[in-house]
Chain A
């Protein structure tokens, strides 16, 4: 079965640079979630989109923004990167119309140096 696709899988950036992470949800899934997981931490919710509209916002810094496009893929834009932004970034998708299960992508490991 098709899964959530994330790109890139690994990303190395320097402080103050920008990064863009991409997420392609499972086909026919209408909701996308972004989570951040620091070393030894549990995943923390950042932001979500339902039918291309932002549906909720969590602990996402103002330096970050995201959107969902007409084909349902989503991008997380991160600017003025800080060392503390180094983490795993997961995208998850669900089909809200008939279930609540969220399926996670493989993640993007961001390292800020």
Chain B
């Protein structure tokens, strides 16, 4: 069973701080990694994807991937109250349909 693990939180940070979200996965064959943001009752919104070891930055978001440790993280700099949502880590397993396997999600609250 391929698994994706996340700290369920909730994670609470003050406005302007850095929020750090972590994710581990079980299958070393995994090749593509995604972070989705989901507001309550809404659909997952893709905010970052990373395929290679190292860091990838996009605006206030930085994704970090370490395949040797089977670890992927998301940093949100200058957190805003509008960042309050559940963040889902998703891993794509190739060799078929490239379906996504999701973690349980981390609920982030940014306090004004």
Partner of A101, one of B34, B102, B103: B34
The residues of A that contact B94 with a CB separation of less than 8 Å are 100
Q: How far is the CB of B3 from chain A (nearest CB, A)?
A: 11
Name the residue among B36, B41, B42, B102 with the largest chain A CB count within 10 angstroms: B102
Flag A64-88 by CB within 8 Å of B: 1 or 0 each. 0000000000000000000000001
B98 lies within 8 A of chain A by Cβ:
yes
Residues of A within 8 A of B (CB): 31, 33, 35, 41-45, 48, 50, 55-56, 58, 88, 90, 92, 94, 96, 100-107
Partner of B104, one of A33, A42, A88, A96: A42
**Residues of B within 8 Å of A, CB-based: how many?**
24
Knowing A100-B92, A104-B44 touch, does A42 contact B103 (C-beta < 8 A)? yes
Q: Is the CB of A33 within 8 A of B105?
A: no
Q: Is the CB of B96 within 8 A of A55?
A: yes
Knowing A43-B44, A102-B46 touch, does A48 contact B97 (C-beta < 8 A)? yes
Sort A-B residue pairs by CB-CB distance and give the 3 closest, nearest first: A56-B97, A42-B102, A48-B97
Residues of B within 8 A of A (CB): 32, 34, 36, 41-46, 49, 51, 88, 92, 94, 96-105
The residues of A that contact B41 with a CB separation of less than 8 Å are 88
Name the residue among A48, A55, A100 with the largest chain B CB count within 10 angstroms: A100
Knowing A42-B104, A42-B105, A45-B101 touch, does A56 contact B43 (C-beta < 8 A)? no
